[in-house]
Structure 1
Amino acid sequence: MRVLVPFDAERPKTRLADLLDERERSALARAMLDDVLAAVRAAGGEPTVLSTAPIDVDAPVRVDDRALTPAVNDALADAAPESPAAVVMADLGLATGDALADLFDADAEVAIVPGRGGGTNALVVRHPEFRVDYHGLSYRDHRRIAAEIDADVAVVDSHRLSTDVDERADLVELLLHGDGRATAWLRDAGFELAVEGGRAGVRR
């Protein structure tokens, strides 16, 4: 299966700016990208990084500096109509081959992994007319788009794929459940779990 992995090579993880400087945010983002690419391959997928700028990575790179929606839709349009395609976000630091294999094997024309807050963290498209819309509550929009073209939908419930790393609280999930390069990077950078006000947090 052809798998697009969108990646912001220029301004990654800006919501972590209160915790990490620009160099560190870039390093963490690249570590998560490497983890996702490894998970895609472990699930039998063939990843292509859809990057906002040229990057040196162990995968084919398609450079497109436009917003996510038109960039992904043009890439999907270039796919062979009879072949399924997937879109897996680059910040799914807990992704594993098993979790992605469950998504890839979902028996539906459109299979969706919702993210927290109404986003879409990953999807598989088997319907030639389906196009994405990542503006706003994209999970709801993707359900609507599928209904408009009479495509059947499967919602894949996966903790590992629904956890995208954008904010400080998300680092807790990486330290608790991760075992890839991103988790190793956090530990090497001096981050550890801590209890803050009765809840798990991170400290450095």
Structure 2
Amino acid sequence: MDEIYAIIPVSRFSNAKTRLSPFLELKEREKLLKAMLKDVTKTLKPVVDEIIIISADKEVLEYANKLEVLTLVENEGLNLNTAISQAMDWCRHKTKKVFIVPSDIPLISKTNIDALIESAKALDFVIVPSKGGGTNGLIIKPLSIDMKFGEFSFKNHIKEANKNGFDPVIYDSFYMSLDVNIAEDLGEIMIHGSGCETQGYLKDLKIGVESIHGAERLKITRPD
């Protein structure tokens, strides 16, 4: 059994990307998250055996049904780590490996996912770092380690791997490292995201990007 199931945990649309609130209104942030989720699922569908979206939000689950992926209702009171564990528990008798992926990495399509998935079939622990010290991809046997998503989760997942006797393989991808949290991240999508749903949505909003030399690398603009 070589199946790999992708697990995508998704928070409530109404809580979507609050750090972008000075730049995007709530409805715009919700539509942004939908666009990113569409990009992620579209990329994964041809290379994994199933995609499971787990959420406590009815609206998220309804949207996931439109994307034609499996859905799980998150148990009440769970946090991100326990929600992922719930999904892994559901998967553990159905698949050999799970690929835990965030919903906000729309440039995943620019990564050689086919090669990543194929190599992971022979590896017990593959991890993709995010640019801020987090984890933007994790391929493991279901429930083989405790989930440590949160602050500096990359380092903490490596510790979990070592503690449980796994030899962690790091898959370093510029495109997968780019999760969207702040306005500057939108600029990266505008620069690198040609053809993706998320870039198309940002273009609809008339988001602009300029290169600057200061505390930030990019200046993000939109019409008043």
180, 187, 200: which one aligns with 2:218 = 200
Q: Do residues 61 (structure 1) and 71 (structure 2) align? A: yes
What's the RMSD between the two structures over aligned residues?
Answer: 1.9
Q: Do residues 41 (structure 1) and 56 (structure 2) align? A: no
Q: Do residues 4 (structure 1) and 7 (structure 2) align? A: yes
For residues 1-204 of structure 1, the aligned pairs below 5 Å read 1-9=4-12, 10-54=14-58, 55=60, 56=62, 57=64, 58=67, 59-64=69-74, 66-80=78-92, 83-96=96-109, 98-104=111-117, 105-106=119-120, 107-126=122-141, 129-178=144-193, 179-197=195-213, 199-204=217-222
Contact 1:99/1:160, CA 8 A, preserved across alignment? no
Distance (Å, rounded) in 1 between the aligned partners of 2:113 and 2:54: 18
Q: Give the TM-score, by structure 1 length.
A: 0.92
Deviation at 1:128, TM superposition (A): 5.0
Deviation at 1:99, TM superposition (A): 3.0
Contact 1:112/1:124, CA 8 A, preserved across alignment? yes
Distance (Å, rounded) in 2 between the aligned partners of 1:3 and 1:164: 17
Which secondary structure state, in structure 2, belongs to the residue aligned with residue 24 of structure 1? helix
Deviation at 1:127, TM superposition (A): 6.5
Distance (Å, rounded) in 2 between the aligned partners of 1:42 and 1:174: 23
Deviation at 1:197, TM superposition (A): 4.5
Q: Which amino acid aligns with 2:134?
A: G
Which secondary structure state, in structure 2, belongs to the residue aligned with residue 74 of structure 1? helix
Describe the shift of the 1:42–1:61 C-alpha distance in structure 2 as closer, same or farther (beyond 3 A). same
Which secondary structure state, in structure 2, belongs to the residue aligned with residue 150 of structure 1? coil
Q: Give the TM-score, by structure 2 length.
A: 0.84
Which secondary structure state, in structure 2, belongs to the residue aligned with residue 47 of structure 1? strand
Distance (Å, rounded) in 1 between the aligned partners of 2:109 and 2:50: 15
Distance (Å, rounded) in 2 between the aligned partners of 1:46 and 1:7: 16
Number of residue pairs the alignment of both structures matches: 204
Describe the shift of the 1:5–1:127 C-alpha distance in structure 2 as closer, same or farther (beyond 3 A). closer
Deviation at 1:60, TM superposition (A): 1.6
Distance (Å, rounded) in 1 between the aligned partners of 2:142 and 2:169: 13
| Deviating more after overlay: 125-134 vs 10-19 | 125-134
Contact 2:45/2:51, CA 8 A, preserved across alignment? yes
Distance (Å, rounded) in 1 between the aligned partners of 2:55 and 2:155: 25
Describe the shift of the 1:127–1:90 C-alpha distance in structure 2 as closer, same or farther (beyond 3 A). closer
